[in-house]
Amino acid sequence: MTPVEFRRHLHRHPELSFRETESARFIAEALREAGIPCRPIAGTGVLAKIEGRGDLRRAVVLRADIDALPIREQSGAAWSSENDGVMHACGHDGHTAIELGLAEETARMIRAGEKLPRNVLFVFQPAEETTGGAGRICETGVFEKYRVTRIFGLHLWPNLPEGSVWSRPGPMMARSNEVTLKVTGRSVHVSRAAEGLDALRAGVDWMNAAYA
């Protein structure tokens, strides 16, 4: 299959976070057909490894997310979602298709005798939309086991010129962790408001300070 066919198949069969069983099966079958060994990771994710011919003590990671969103598709495309109420509206089908194509090309390069300076891990991450999948993959210890030095995550960006790949040194498009804040106030009669503690105002003040 071509990357376009990969993408359209995945778009027809989207699955929510940690329910990506058929997506994982499809990904694993495509990798094995290309002669790339793979295994499950973090429940419904997939991990594949291609050995380079350079410093085998180190590895780089290419990562794609595979889950979809709870959205009903109304695009009318021939490859529209067949799972009612679930849609690849954030481009994860595209990320996965690109990474599958890249894995196939990398395997072809190795068979042709080309030398890669590092081992390459292909991580197909579940549950990006609910933010739980990345943590579970890290908890497996796979990055320490293979001594990963760099991780590249795929993301589609429609404003960039077609056919181009953009990156930069260091973190890019990173986000902070979620924060849960509990504010406890003290209720009083409105005639004695100065003796109370306004939890809403305290929460707003904290948020404004956090963004400052």
DSSP 47: E
Its sign, for the CA torsion 29, 32, 36, 42, is positive
Helix H or strand E encompassing 6 = helix 3-12
**Residue 67 is among the residues annotated as catalytic for this protein:** yes
Question: Contact, 102 vs 30, CB < 8 A?
Answer: no
What distances in angstroms separate CA 165 from CA 120, 136, 155, 156, 160, one per listed residue?
Answer: 19, 28, 10, 10, 8
Burial class (CB in 10 A: 0-12, 13-18, 19+), 176: exposed
Strand order from edge to edge, sheet including 148-153: 38-41, 45-50, 119-125, 59-65, 148-153
Active site residue 65: no
Of residues 20, 73, 99, 128, which has the active-site annotation? 128
Q: How far apart are CA 147 and CA 91, in angstroms?
A: 29
Point out the catalytic residue in the list 15, 20, 65, 67: 67
Q: Work out the angle between the directed axes of helices 3-12 and 92-111 (0-180°, nearest 10).
A: 140
Active-site positions? Answer: 67, 128
